[in-house]
Each structure stands twice: as structure tokens, then as C-alpha cells.
Homo-oligomer: A and B are copies of this chain.
Amino acid sequence: MIKMGLMNRSRREIRQLIKNSKITICVVGLGRVGLPTASIFADAGALVLGADINEAIVNQVNGGECPLSDEPKLAKLVRQNVKKGNLKATTNVAKAVAHADVIVVCVPTPVDEHKVPNYSAVKDACKEIAKTLNKGSLVILESTVGPGTVESMVVPLLERQSLLRACRDFGVASCPERADPGRMVENLFSVPRIIGGIDSRSAAVASWLYETAFGVDVVKVSSPKTANAVKLTENLFRDVNIALANEFALLYEKLNIDTVEVIEACATKYNFTPHFPGAGVGGPCLPQNSYYLIVEGIKVGNIPYLVRLAREINDRMPDHVVTLVGEALNEIGKTVKSSKIAVLGVAYKPGVHDLQLTPTRKVVQKLVEMGAKISIYDPMFRNEQVFGTKVADTLEDAVAGVDCVTIVTAHGEFRDLDVRELSRLCSKPAALVDARNTVKPQAAKKNGFAFRGVGRT
């Protein structure tokens, strides 16, 4: 801990304190956001205490091992900084906070089955932090929350048990993570950070910490709620635009127009940003972020309809994939019931070992309900048990003798798919359903497949 306190230091002093390992940072939550964040702060020189309720993760980290297999450059950062003594993990948040100048909260904020945000992990973290929060320290929230949550929930929780007063005794800032799973380290070192403080001092100190440790630009905004609005706005932009692509796909299928051809042509115009249709949207952010905003909208009587409708459209895409499977099988005189169907891709997006809200779950569930015999292949999940099925060791194993191949995740391996070879391996006749625009429709048809693709002709 810094003897003279953190909050009254200058930019230059903070830079020196980090460099000389004179600053202690407690990162709460060692998941996909927290662990890279903790490792990079440690790598910049800070003494980092990573706290997580998951003992297995804590033990792995303390052993210099990285629990995430799909984040390039992370394993090395963890190993080196644990070895150097700059990064330690613990299950005891309060004890770690007692030593900390800065507390960075990176816990998950999922939505429940009614689509209501569940902030219990943030609340629990705040309560633990409040027990031992030091005067003159700074609490930073990286978790995604609805605008206003820091002001109305985080600050009161921190004040209640600590008997300290925000602004006067400690600082609070929002710095929502903006990095992309599978590219966390790269993004943390390059994407500018958005920082909103409860006062200008909190914002300034938080900015200097991130500028120094991550070497990134910082955009200071008026308040924590503005920072949280930024995070939601940028993610909802993506969710709404993917929904729009899906809406075009559903219509263009009926008009016999190829949506991918359309979108690629649109992309030649200077003010168009391409998004592509698919099996839906998964992961820890996009399928949930809308609800953080909707719930705030409901409170003030102003529901963002467009955002809600977009979410609905994306949520229904897995059903559409199942419909296409049924249609393609029907074309070759087969039913889903008792057909062998290979599902390619379970990860929610290419290149990650992550099943969070993956559209594949719904696709597999429905196909199983309808009586299909499912095989699964995903290069990120080889030989693991997923959705009650052991993932095949190779693509060849998964597709051998099947009546239908369904591509649900656009892993690189599926982009180079040799449809002629695929057709040799499948039953004859066979169906091919491409939910991710990885296959050329003409090539699939030429090789004898009954073909369907989301938005394809």
C-alpha cells in the first residue's frame, strides 16, 4: 500500500508507483476479463492480488498456470508475473482489499431466465470490499451494468459497511471492459478505455492507471453512468445490426436473393458497415447487454423497443436453423426424426473455447427433441462432453455416414471445407445446412447436397 494515499497523487507519481511496484491492485474476479487485466497490471509493475471465489482457478493461477486456453499471450503473462511475484491469487477478497490501493471489479453480470439482470456478483463483491476498504483507495468497476447502477447501487454498498464516504474518503470510477473474447490481451493493449468517475479525481487517477499499465488512450466521460451507457450502446449497435442482417436474411430467403451477395455489395459504399446473418448471437455480452438497458428504460417509462425487437430476432435464429435442417432433409425424403445429424461448431463464436449462451445449444436441443441422432465436432472442444454428447476427435469422425451436416460456428477449419470430400463421407443423399456462410451454395449443390443456408439461395 501507498503510505501517503493514492488519490492525491499526480500522473507522474502514479506512473512511478506502478513502475516501482509501490502500488497494490486487487482484481476481483479472475475470469476472462479479470485475469488478463490482473496480469497486465502486474506486468506493468504493480503488485496484483487476484481474488476469485473459485478455488481451482486461484490454485491454477498461483501455480503459474492459465485457466483459459483460448487467449493468445495470456499464459505467458500469467506465468511470468506469478514467477516474478507480482501476481498472486486468493479466495479471500476482504483480505486482499485490506492491502490494496486500487480495487478493480471484474465479476460477471448475467441476466436470469426472465431476462432480468442479476447483479448479485457485483453486490457480493462490493460488500466484501467494503469490509476492509482503505481510506484513500479507488474502486473501479469493469463489469457491464446498466447506466446508473454505480451511482445507485455500488457507491451505497461500498459506503454502508466501510463507514467511509465516497469522494471524501475513497474514489469510484467505471471503466467498462471493451475487449473481445479470444483477443483479450491484444484488445486490452489497443482499444481506448472509457472512464467515468463519481468525481474528477476518481476519473483522473483511474485514467492514469490504465494509460500507464495498458498504454492505451483514455476517453474521460462525465459520469460512471455515461461510461456504462457507452459500453451498452456500442454492444447494442452490434446486436441490432446483426438482427437487421438476420431480418434481411429471412426475407431474402423468401425472395430468392442471396443475402451474403447483397451485404458484400453494400460494403462497397463508404457509409455502410457490414454485419452478416447467422444462427443467432451468443457469448457473455451481446445476448445480455440489451436487458441492462431495457430494465433502466422500464424504470423511467421508456422501453427501447428497437433494441428489444432486435434481441428477439437474434434469439429466434436457432429455430430458423432447425427449420432449414427440416427443409433440407425433406428435400431428400428424410425426416429429422431418426436422421443422423452432424453439428459443426458448439463455441458461441469462432476460435473460442466458450459455450456461454451459444446458439448451438438451442439447435442441438431442438434436434434431439425431434428425434435426431446428433454427432458434434468443434476443434476447440475435441473429445469433451458437450450437451450430452462426446465431441468427435475429427471432423471426419463426426460426419461419417450422416444424413445432414449443420454448420453453426464459423471456425476457420469450416471455412476451408472441401464439400466434395464432405459429400464422400456423408450418407447419400445428404443435406448440408450452413448457418454461417462458410460454404459456397453452388459448390454444395453441385456435390449432391440438398443445401440450405441462412439467407442463402
Are A306 and B313 in contact, with the CB atoms below 8 A? yes
Contacts of A411 in B (CB 8 A): none
Closest to A231 in B: B266
Stretch at the interface among A81-89, A95-103, A243-251, A412-420: A243-251
Proximity bits, A115-149, B CB within 8 Å = 1, else 0: 00000000000000000000000000000000110
In the assembled complex, how far is the CB of residue A264 from the closest CB belonging to chain B, in whole angstroms?
A: 8
Contacts of A217 in B (CB 8 A): 268
Are A226 and B302 in contact, with the CB atoms below 8 A? no
Give the residue of B244, B255, B265, B313 whose beta carbon is less than 8 angstroms from that of A300: B255
Give the residue of B237, B263, B273, B302 whose beta carbon is less than 8 angstroms from that of A244: B237
In the assembled complex, how far is the CB of residue A145 from the closest CB belonging to chain B, in whole angstroms?
A: 13
Give the residue of B241, B247, B252, B269 whose beta carbon is less than 8 angstroms from that of A241: B241
CA distance A247 to B252 in the complex (A): 27
The reply on A9 being an interface residue by CB < 8 A is: no
The reply on A380 being an interface residue by CB < 8 A is: no
Q: Given A233-B262, A244-B240, answer yes or no on A306-B300 (Cβ-Cβ < 8 Å).
A: no
Chain A residues 49-92 with CB under 8 Å of chain B are none
Chain A residues 281-313 with CB under 8 Å of chain B are 293, 296-297, 300-302, 304-307, 309-310, 313
The reply on A3 being an interface residue by CB < 8 A is: no
Interface size on A, residues (CB 8 A): 59
Chain A residues 217-261 with CB under 8 Å of chain B are 217, 219, 221-223, 225-227, 229-230, 233-234, 236-238, 240-241, 243-244, 247-248, 250-252, 254-258, 261
In the assembled complex, how far is the CB of residue A278 from the closest CB belonging to chain B, in whole angstroms?
A: 16
Closest to A273 in B: B273
The reply on A429 being an interface residue by CB < 8 A is: no
Proximity bits, A158-187, B CB within 8 Å = 1, else 0: 000000000000000000001000000000
CA distance A210 to B351 in the complex (A): 42
Contacts of A296 in B (CB 8 A): 251, 255
Are A221 and B300 in contact, with the CB atoms below 8 A? no
CA distance A135 to B360 in the complex (A): 55
Are A257 and B234 in contact, with the CB atoms below 8 A? no
Contacts of A261 in B (CB 8 A): 221-222, 226
Top 8 nearest A-B pairs by Cβ distance?
A: A254-B300, A234-B266, A273-B273, A192-B268, A230-B265, A234-B272, A229-B262, A219-B265
Give the residue of B226, B254, B266 whose beta carbon is less than 8 angstroms from that of A230: B266
In the assembled complex, how far is the CB of residue A258 from the closest CB belonging to chain B, in whole angstroms?
A: 7
CA distance A307 to B304 in the complex (A): 15
Are B233 and A266 in contact, with the CB atoms below 8 A? yes
The reply on A343 being an interface residue by CB < 8 A is: no
CA distance A258 to B221 in the complex (A): 10
CA distance A266 to B273 in the complex (A): 15
Are B238 and A178 in contact, with the CB atoms below 8 A? no
Contacts of A272 in B (CB 8 A): 234, 237-238
